Amino acid sequence: MDKIDQAIIKYLRNNGRAPYLEIASKMGMSEAAVRRRVKNLVRHGIIRKFTVDLQASYIASALTLVAVTPGSPTSEVANKIKLLDSVSKVNEITGQYDIAVMIEAFTMEEVNNTIDQIRKTEGVASTNTMVILREVV
């Protein structure tokens, strides 16, 4: 991935619906060159998906920190959690906790249900959840 690919990704992160022609104009490239580069980024798994990013006031969200029981492989627990409804992101982390989970749903009830599912996941020792009040942009 070179500087041009990085610039295209940065542009798409701000506007995932931007037409290739618009990106090409901003980058000083042809539309075909941008299309080819985006296709390659997708094919190589660098861009995994194009998604909808909702304004924070329209969703309920929480960050749940997860401690894994000793002897349980953290990556296996993380992969189980990743499959749960309303889980938008899972990161293995360092520190007191082993996994950070971002939960996003339309209602707080859905968030709570996901937290309950995380707590019941084999290999989870404890959790610490923080409800997101607002996003600072």
CATH 3.30.70.920 placement within the chain: 56-131
What local confidence, expressed as pLDDT, does residue 58 receive? 67
CA-nearest of 65, 53, 117, 119 to 90 is: 65
What local confidence, expressed as pLDDT, does residue 36 receive? 94
What local confidence, expressed as pLDDT, does residue 10 receive? 86
pLDDT tens digit sequence for 60-70: 899 999 999 99
Which stretches of the chain drop beneath a pLDDT of 50?
A: none
Pairing of strands 124-131, 60-68: antiparallel
What local confidence, expressed as pLDDT, does residue 62 receive? 96
CATH of 3-43, one of 3.40.50.20, 3.90.1150.10, 3.40.50.150, 1.10.10.10: 1.10.10.10
CATH 1.10.10.10 placement within the chain: 3-43
What local confidence, expressed as pLDDT, does residue 48 receive? 77
What local confidence, expressed as pLDDT, does residue 49 receive? 73
Place of tokens 């889980």: 87
- The answer regarding whether domain 56-131 maps to CATH 3.30.70.920 reads yes
pLDDT tens digit sequence for 91-120: 999 999 999 999 999 889 999 999 999 999
